[in-house]
Amino acid sequence: MRKIIFTMLLAIIGSAWTISNASCLHSESDVTGTEITVSGGLYWAAYPCEDEEPCPTCLVIVLETGAKGYYLTAAFDSIETKLDNLMNDLTCDCPPQVTVRGTLYTRGSNEYIHVWYMEVNPLRLPSLCDTWNVMVVENATCGDCEEYHTYRHYLTTDTIIGERRYGKLLVEGKYEGALREGDNKNIYCVPAGTTHEYLLYDFNAKVGDKLENVWLGGSPVDSPDGYVLTVDSVSETTPRVYSLHAEIRYGDEETRPWHVWWVEGVGLSDGPIGAKRCLGCADSRGYAVLCAYKDRKQVYTSEIAEEFGCYYDSNAQPVDTVPLYTKVGDGPGSSTVDPVDPNEIVATLKVDNLTIREYINEEISYSLSKVSASNQAPARRQVMHSDSFRESVTIPLVEGGTYELELTNPEWNYSIVGTFKYMPTGVEDTPATVAPVQKVLINGRLLIKHGNKVYTLTGVQVE
């Protein structure tokens, strides 16, 4: 019996193979089996022929999980196209990492997954977090006039630089650089504005080690060859804290030590790839990592976050995040499955505005409905807004109530949904003895009077 070889065959296939632009293992119908969700890398492999079966000279796609491999078939044409595009866009020996959901079934001696949902997984570095909340303090030296802002840094979709696979690091949607991990808990980065790769962290460094070509932040112009760091100490805490120093020049003066600290798995104290400032230059801006996350779980809280929390903005009004979930199917048999990665799509409610942001570079259609229900009747939905957008869209809200947000894309075989409650500003709970609420009839309309203000039954102020 033929054995499956899970390897990148494209580099070694010779004239004996006929390679087309698409996988030759097409969709199947009437597939039965159990539902399965697995993650792994995609590889080209030989067609899975049984003994004495005529064997086509073409390739198929295999999902390798590390423990075993599955041949993939597609439940929809869009899934097959997406699989083929992922494999044909390869420019390096770096298999696309995906999560698939589908029907597990057996044909002959091989296992298959009939895929009806697939998402590409952003590159995750085993030894480093993937999301950081970094607080920036403006006017730090002015005295009682500081301004505080918090910015989210996060790893997102992959990129290829010099035939190596990196994860893109974004700050509030703006590209800041690319990161990858070596084979010894060492992290490398290519900052925006350069193609030079620096050593960013070495979490296996020992006291006394001298590390060269190290990135500490700022501009690539200021440090085209990086800095030389000496490891002064490594704590025995969990996580370990590394104390290091570099010799840098302050203006025209002689060199002085510049001290930095790494937290194992988190990184520099002023951000995952350091602050955007000239080392040694006078600056009235300060930076501090508040909290860090890995796989959607908070794994680090700094001492500053104990005071300010994981998100702090001295000028901002409160922001609520709308929980989003993938929804498979439609109607009574549909199911809400997994929470949506906030590094990909996030929805926030700030005062009277709903803002939706996407970081996956796709056009998304949205439908915002107001949900009404009574004890005697099922929920009814009234579509209030619908359109499509890229990057972000802000929707003003007027009427109070319960809302349902649905996001779709022609390439998805699922939808994204979220439900939230909204109360217009100015409508507050007030003791009845101070401002009683009354029903009033004005010009034939039933309205609500609250103090000197009049509202519709849905909470819209009319007087």
User: How do residues 71-103 score in pLDDT, each as one tens digit?
Assistant: 999 888 888 888 888 887 665 566 788 889 999
Residue showing tokens 């700030």: 350
Distance between CA 155 and CA 125 in Å, rounded?
A: 9
**Listed residue (102, 109, 108) closest to 63, CA to CA:** 102
Tracing tokens 């494999």 back to the chain, one arrives at 87
First to last CA, the chain: 81
Q: Where are the beta strands (DSSP E) in 96-130?
A: 97-107, 110-120
Structure tokens, 432: 């009845």
Rounded-to-integer distance, Cα 329 and Cα 207, Å? 56
Contact 129, 114 (CB under 8 A): no
Q: Residue 349: which residues within 8 A CB-CB, separation 6 or more? A: 319, 320, 321, 322, 355, 397, 420, 422
- Burial (0-12, 13-18, 19+ Cβ within 10 Å), 254: exposed
The top-level CATH class assigned to 319-422 is mainly beta
Q: Do the beta carbons of residue 150 and residue 171 sit within 8 Å?
A: no
d(CA 449, CA 446) in angstroms, rounded, equals 10
Summarize pLDDT for 34-57 with one digit per residue, the tens.
Answer: 999 998 889 988 888 877 777 877
Euclidean distance between CA atoms 379 and 185, whole angstroms: 53
Integer-rounded Cα radius of gyration of the chain = 28
- What does the alpha-carbon distance between residue 459 and residue 332 come to, in Å, rounded to a whole number? 31
Choose among 71, 85, 82, 83: nearest CA to 114: 71
- How far lies 67's CA from each of 6, 46, 64, 96, 102, in Å? 12, 19, 8, 17, 18
Digit-by-digit pLDDT tens for the chain (463 residues) are 333 333 333 333 332 233 344 567 666 667 888 999 998 889 988 888 877 777 877 888 999 987 889 999 988 888 888 888 888 766 556 678 888 999 999 988 899 999 988 888 777 799 999 999 999 888 766 666 778 888 989 988 788 888 788 889 999 888 999 999 998 899 999 999 899 999 999 999 999 999 999 999 988 888 899 999 999 999 999 999 999 999 887 666 677 888 899 999 999 999 999 987 777 666 667 888 999 998 778 899 998 888 778 888 877 666 788 999 988 876 555 566 678 877 788 898 888 889 998 877 788 999 999 987 654 455 677 889 999 998 889 999 988 889 999 999 888 888 999 999 998 865 444 433 334 555 555 654 555 566 666 655 444 555 5
CA distance linking residue 139 with residue 173, whole number of Å: 24
Q: What is the pTM of this model?
A: 0.59
Distance CA 306, CA 308 (A): 6
Residue partners of 252: CB distance under 8 A and separation at least 6: none
Taking the domains of the chain in order of start, what are their residue ranges? 9-120, 131-308, 319-422, 428-463
Choices 3.10.105.10, 1.10.3720.10, 3.90.950.10, 2.40.50.140: CATH for 9-120: 2.40.50.140
- Residue position matching structure tokens 């400032």: 277
DSSP string, 212-223: EEE--BS-TTT-
Report, in this order, helix, strand and coil percent for the chain, each rounded to 5: 5, 50, 45
Instruction: Give the model confidence (pLDDT) of 370-400 as tens digits.
Output: 987 654 455 677 889 999 998 889 999 988 8
